[in-house]
Amino acid sequence: MRVSAIIAAAGRGTRFGGELKQLRPVAGRAILDRSVSAFLAHPTIAEVIVALPRALVDDPPAYLRPDNIAAGNSARGRLHLVAGGERRQDSVANAFRAAAPDSDVIVIHDAARPFVSADLIARTIAAAAESGAAIAALQARDTVKQAELVVRQARDERESTPLILSPSKDERTWIVTSTLPRESIFLAQTPQAFRRDVLAAALAVAARADVPVTDEAALAERAGHPVRLVDGEASNVKITTRDDLVMAEAIAQSTDRRTIRTGRAGTGYDLHRLAAGRPLVIGGVAIPSDRGAVGHSDADVACHAIVDALLGAGGQGDIGRHFPDSDPQWKGASSLDLLARAAAMVRDGGYDVGNVDVTVVLESPKIRDHVEAMRRAIAGAIGIDAARVSVKGKTNEGVDAIGRGEAIAAHAVALIYAIRN
């Protein structure tokens, strides 16, 4: 069975004060990153299509850039970005058209629900494969009241005629009309999963009727398909307003503590001679200089040191083992590409990259004006946020070959961590 996942992330954050809430960090990690990663990491999901505002499709954050995911990483080629539409169903329809035509089941998830578990994803998909349509939902725990909106009335003191007060004076009120049996009330969540033909029929209903809906299950219902309920999770909260961030932070800290099983650190070191006429590339950025590093590839000491730190943390040898200077395919190679490949090896070994810290030791030129560009380039190659990359520049105070301007060196530390399946 082939399963495609759609992440609905094209909302404009109206109830969040106009900010794109999906980019907001929770416990140091973007809401959108958490949601997308949950599906990319799931063994059942063949591809993930993210519906975004057009501006984010054109300039996505690092964790959504497919071209920065190195060959060999299980996520490479599985992540696709599409522009959303005016309404939710338009965004989902755009993503549905981009899904693989041989997908048997399509699972849809709100980007604003960053704590969905792998088990809930699996159970929802299995129920949809069997029944055609299934959604995660929580049974109501509180007493449920049905109400209607009425306009309060007042009497003119001089007459007995009731006066209907103006709604603009906030005189509207809700009045209970009945008490509903809570056993039959369920609060819908995502993921919501559908066999491909069921979702196609549901989206066709939306196109014909032009009715706004808040979830795809409502469209499937209109199309005449029964929707099966799967037990949702209380932690699978939706971040709608800023008030929700307090609970989200607490859940994230608790979840992250449970999820992270093992942290491993690695160190890296690299040194190259400097020679006239060579380009000086540091951290993927070309630095104006009359001398550059000598090496088989582009001799980027920062990237090489980080590669060794990542491979060391993962117990996977060193840069010379995987990219030897005796192999002509690495002649003049971009060290950012080598770094991306090393990060992919770490991920294939069951680890994610937490952060990296690199110190470049160079007498001149100074690198301070290029540090931010280096951080972005390194982060892009690894596939993490630039906030997790530190680049520092030091001199050797005139001591030895580096101090004499004859060489450049770099020291790096990397932290990786294993994630529970």
What is the rounded distance in angstroms from the CA atom of residue 201 to the CA atom of residue 224? 9
- Which domain-ending residue is among 158, 182, 206? 182
Looking at residue 207, its pLDDT comes to: 79
Residue 251 lies in a domain: no
The answer to whether residues 165 and 216 belong to one domain is: no
The answer to whether residues 173 and 294 belong to one domain is: no
Looking at residue 350, its pLDDT comes to: 80
Residue 371 lies in a domain: yes
Residue 130 lies in a domain: yes
The answer to whether residues 219 and 88 belong to one domain is: yes
Residues contacting residue 164 through CB under 8 Å, at least 6 positions apart: 151, 153
The answer to whether residues 354 and 212 belong to one domain is: no
The answer to whether residues 302 and 411 belong to one domain is: yes
Residue 255 lies in a domain: no
The answer to whether residues 223 and 308 belong to one domain is: no
The answer to whether residues 84 and 232 belong to one domain is: yes
Residue 247 lies in a domain: no
Amino acid at 263: G
Residue 389 lies in a domain: yes
Mind listing the pLDDT tens digit of every residue in the chain (421 residues)? 899 999 999 977 666 666 788 888 888 889 999 999 999 988 899 999 999 999 999 989 888 876 544 333 445 578 999 999 888 889 999 999 999 999 999 999 999 999 999 999 999 999 999 999 999 999 999 999 999 988 765 555 555 555 444 444 556 788 999 999 988 999 999 999 999 999 999 999 887 877 777 889 999 999 999 999 999 999 999 998 888 888 888 888 777 665 555 678 999 999 999 999 899 999 999 999 999 999 888 999 999 999 999 999 998 989 989 998 888 888 888 999 999 999 999 988 888 898 999 999 999 999 999 999 999 999 999 988 888 999 999 999 999 999 999 999 999 999 998 754 4
Strand partners, 391: 358
What is the rounded distance in angstroms from the CA atom of residue 61 to the CA atom of residue 411? 27
The answer to whether residues 189 and 153 belong to one domain is: no
Range of 369's domain?
Answer: 262-419
Q: SS3 string of the chain?
A: CCEEEEEECCCCCHHHCCCCHHHCEECCEEHHHHHHHHHHCCCCEEEEEEEECHHHHHCCCHHHCHHHCCCCCCCCCCEEEEECCCCHHHHHHHHHHHCCCCCCEEEEEECCCCCCCHHHHHHHHHHHHHHCEEEEEEECCCCEEEEEEEECEEECCCCCCEEECCHHHCCEEEEEEEEECHHHCEEEEEEEEEEHHHHHHHHHHHHHHCCCCCCHHHHHHHCCCCCEEEECCCCCCCCCCCCHHHHHHHHHHHHHHHHEEEEEEEEEEEEEEEEECCCEEECCEEECCCEEECCCCCCCHHHHHHHHHHHHHCCCCCHHHHCCCCCHHHCCCCHHHHHHHHHHHHHHCCEEEEEEEEEEECCCCCCHHHHHHHHHHHHHHHCCCHHHEEEEEECCCCCHHHHCCCEEEEEEEEEEEEECC
Residue 162 lies in a domain: yes
What is the rounded distance in angstroms from the CA atom of residue 316 to the CA atom of residue 72? 15
Residues contacting residue 314 through CB under 8 Å, at least 6 positions apart: 264, 266, 345, 346, 349, 351, 416
What is the rounded distance in angstroms from the CA atom of residue 405 to the CA atom of residue 271? 12
- Which domain-ending residue is among 182, 210, 233? 182
- The answer to whether residues 381 and 344 touch, using CB atoms and an 8 Å cutoff, is no
Amino acid at 142: D
Residue 254 lies in a domain: no
The answer to whether residues 273 and 396 belong to one domain is: yes
The answer to whether residues 304 and 413 belong to one domain is: yes
Looking at residue 48, its pLDDT comes to: 96
The answer to whether residues 20 and 52 belong to one domain is: yes
Looking at residue 208, its pLDDT comes to: 80
Q: Tell whether omega for the bond before 365 is within 30 degrees of 0, i.e. cis.
A: yes
Q: How many domains does the chain have?
A: 3
Please choose, from the candidates 32, 33, 18, 6, the residue with its C-alpha nearest in 3D space to the C-alpha of residue 353.
33
The domain that contains 49 carries what CATH number?
3.90.550.10
The answer to whether residues 162 and 278 belong to one domain is: no
Residues contacting residue 35 through CB under 8 Å, at least 6 positions apart: 7, 9, 22, 109, 110, 111, 112, 113, 114, 116
